[in-house]
Amino acid sequence: EADIYQTPRYLVIGTGKKITLECSQTMGHDKMYWYQQDPGMELHLIHYSYGVNSTEKGDLSSESTVSRIRTEHFPLTLESARPSHTSQYLCASSEYSGGEDTQYFGPGTRLTVL
């Protein structure tokens, strides 16, 4: 099972601040993902990456941006946080192997923008 770490776990911040949510994995997986999850709701894919220097937007439009400079690191940035960005953000990684591609998730970052 993959080891995926997200920091911070909880963040309360004021409107207009720039924030970066960190995600790191130690399994060497090529693919990484960011999901947004509102309370009691399903997860929506907002960004994904197939490898270094690869980033794509997901199914749900998001004002956040991502980068993938290193295989193990996939940070998400909000240039100017707004209350509408309040949500839980989950990072995942996966690698295709033996006909299977399974995503493993980090613990999440719960963001509150005041």
Question: Binding residues for other proteins, per CB under 8 A?
Answer: 1, 4, 6, 31, 40-45, 48, 59, 90, 92, 94, 96, 99-108, 110
Distance (Å, rounded) from C-alpha 1 to C-alpha 81? Answer: 33
Q: Least distance in Å: CB of 80 to other proteins?
A: 26
Distance (Å, rounded) from C-alpha 21 to C-alpha 9? Answer: 9
Q: Least distance in Å: CB of 40 to other proteins?
A: 7
Do the beta carbons of residue 32 and residue 13 sit within 8 Å?
A: no
Q: Least distance in Å: CB of 43 to other proteins?
A: 5
**Helix ranges (DSSP H) in 1-114:** none
Q: Strand pairing of 100-101 and 76-78?
A: unpaired
- Residue 15 or 38 with smaller CB distance to other proteins: 38
- Residue 11 or 43 with smaller CB distance to other proteins: 43
